[in-house]
C-alpha cells in the first residue's frame, strides 16, 4: 500500500479509502422490502482491506448499505458495522471519516447542519462507531436553512472538544466551498481539509473549479464512485456484441436512474477504449479507472484519494492492485481521445 498526506495536514492515509455506502447484500429483504446487508462478508472485507494496508475508512450516519435514498428507519447501519469492525483492531491505526446532514429522524430538526443537529448527531455517530472521536467529520450536502457561520462554529467546537480531528465538505458547489473557507479564515475557525465529491473518468465536474480550490487551500480530494457505481468495471458491457447488459442485484440493476445516467453511446466508446488498454497491460478495467484518478493526482499535484466501494471480496483484491498500474502520458492521451 502507498500512503499520501491528507492535504496540508500531517496525517497520512492509504492511497485508497474503503467506502461503506454500498455493502455486500443478502438475497433476502426485510419487512420494508429493502435488501439486507451481509454482515459477515462486510466484516470480512473490512478486515481484508485493513490487513492489506488500507487505513482509511469512510462512512456516513445515513448509510444503510443497500439504499440510495435512505430513510430514518434504515439509517446508521453502515456506521454500526464499521463500529463492530473497529472494536476488533487498534482504533489509533485507522483514519475514520463520517458525515452529517441527512434525515436521521422524522421530527423537524431531525436533519440539517444546525448546531442542534450536529451536536446531536456527533454523539449518535460516536455511539454507533464505538469510538471517542472521528478523524474527519464531513458535511454531507448543503443545508440552505442554516447559516454557514453557525455550521462552522459548531464544527469548530467539536474539534476543540476533541470529538473531531479534521473537517471536510461534500456535494457542495464551488462557490459554497469558497464561502465556507473564507468565513473560516475571517473568524479564525477550523478549516476544511477535505473535499469529498463524485469524481471518476467520465464524471469530472470536480475538475472545473474544485481542483484549483483544493490546491490553493491545501485540501485533499476524496473521489467517491471512482468506478461510476460499477459502470467503469465493464460488467455492464457485452464486449462481443458491444451492447449493454445488467446483472441482478448490481447497483445499476437496482436503480433505473443509473441506466439513464451511464448507458450512452459516447460512454460505450470510452469503455471499449479502456478495455483495449487494460488488455494490453494485462489488468482489469477497474484498475485502469482507479489508476487514472491516481495519475490525475500526479498531474494536478493535489492528493486525490479514490473511495472504493466493495460488495464482493474478490473486488477488493482487484481494486487494491490498481495502485501498481502505471498509466503513461500516452495512455492518458489515448483515453482522452475516446471522448472526442
Q: Is 63 designated active site?
A: yes
CB atoms within 10 A of CB 19: 25
Q: How far apart are CA 180 and CA 173, in angstroms?
A: 11
Query: Grid coordinates in use for 261?
Result: 445516467
Q: How far apart are CA 289 and CA 223, in angstroms?
A: 12
List the catalytic residue out of 3, 32, 35, 63: 63
Phi then psi dihedrals of residue 299, to 5 deg: -65, -40
Rounded-to-10 torsion of CA 15, 20, 25, 28:
180
Q: How far apart are CA 82 and CA 277, in angstroms?
A: 36
CA–CA distances in Å: residue 81 to residues 38, 57, 86, 196, 313: 10, 12, 9, 22, 16
Return the bridge partners of 5, or none: 12
What interhelical angle do 39-51 and 313-320 show, nearest 10?
20
- Decide if 213 contacts 174 (C-beta within 8 A): yes
Q: Which residues are catalytic?
A: 63
Amino acid at each position: 500500500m502507498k500512503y499520501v498526506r491528507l492535504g496540508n495536514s500531517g496525517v497520512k492515509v492509504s492511497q485508497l479509502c474503503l467506502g461503506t455506502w454500498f455493502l455486500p447484500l443478502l438475497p433476502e429483504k426485510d419487512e420494508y422490502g429493502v435488501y439486507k446487508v451481509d454482515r459477515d462478508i462486510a466484516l470480512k472485507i473490512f478486515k481484508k482491506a485493513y490487513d492489506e494496508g488500507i487505513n482509511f475508512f469512510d462512512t456516513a450516519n445515513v448509510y444503510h448499505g443497500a439504499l440510495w435514498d435512505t430513510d430514518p428507519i434504515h439509517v446508521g447501519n453502515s456506521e454500526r458495522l464499521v463500529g463492530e469492525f473497529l472494536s476488533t483492531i487498534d482504533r489509533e491505526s485507522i483514519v475514520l471519516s463520517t458525515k452529517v446532514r441527512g434525515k436521521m429522524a422524522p421530527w423537524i430538526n431531525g436533519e440539517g447542519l444546525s448546531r442542534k443537529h450536529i451536536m446531536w448527531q456527533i454523539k449518535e455517530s460516536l455511539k454507533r462507531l464505538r469510538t471517542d472521536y472521528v478523524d474527519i467529520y464531513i458535511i454531507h450536502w448543503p443545508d440552505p436553512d442554516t447559516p454557514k457561520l453557525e455550521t462552522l462554529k459548531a464544527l469548530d467546537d467539536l474539534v476543540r472538544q476533541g470529538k473531531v480531528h479534521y473537517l471536510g465538505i461534500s456535494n457542495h458547489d464551488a462557490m459554497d466551498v469558497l464561502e465556507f473557507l473564507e468565513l473560516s479564515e475571517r473568524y479564525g475557525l477550523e478549516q476544511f481539509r477535505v473535499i469529498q465529491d463524485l469524481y471518476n473518468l467520465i464524471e469530472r465536474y470536480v475538475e472545473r473549479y474544485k481542483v484549483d480550490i483544493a490546491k490553493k487551500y491545501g485540501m485533499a480530494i476524496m473521489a467517491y464512485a471512482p468506478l461510476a457505481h460499477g459502470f467503469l468495471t465493464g460488467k455492464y458491457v457485452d464486449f462481443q456484441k458491444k451492447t449493454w447488459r445488467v446483472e441482478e442485484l448490481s447497483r445499476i440493476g437496482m436503480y433505473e436512474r443509473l441506466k439513464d445516467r451511464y448507458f450512452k453511446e459516447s460512454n460505450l466508446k470510452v469503455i471499449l477504449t479502456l478495455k483495449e488498454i487494460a488488455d494490453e497491460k494485462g489488468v482489469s478495467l477497474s484498475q485502469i479507472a482507479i489508476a487514472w484518478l491516481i495519475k490525475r493526482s500526479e498531474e494536478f499535484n493535489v492528493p486525490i484519494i479514490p473511495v472504493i466501494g466493495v460488495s464482493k471480496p474478490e473486488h477488493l483484491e482487484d481494486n487494491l492492485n490498481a495502485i501498481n498500474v502505471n498509466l503513461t502520458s500516452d495512455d492518458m492521451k489515448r483515453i482522452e481521445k475516446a471522448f472526442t
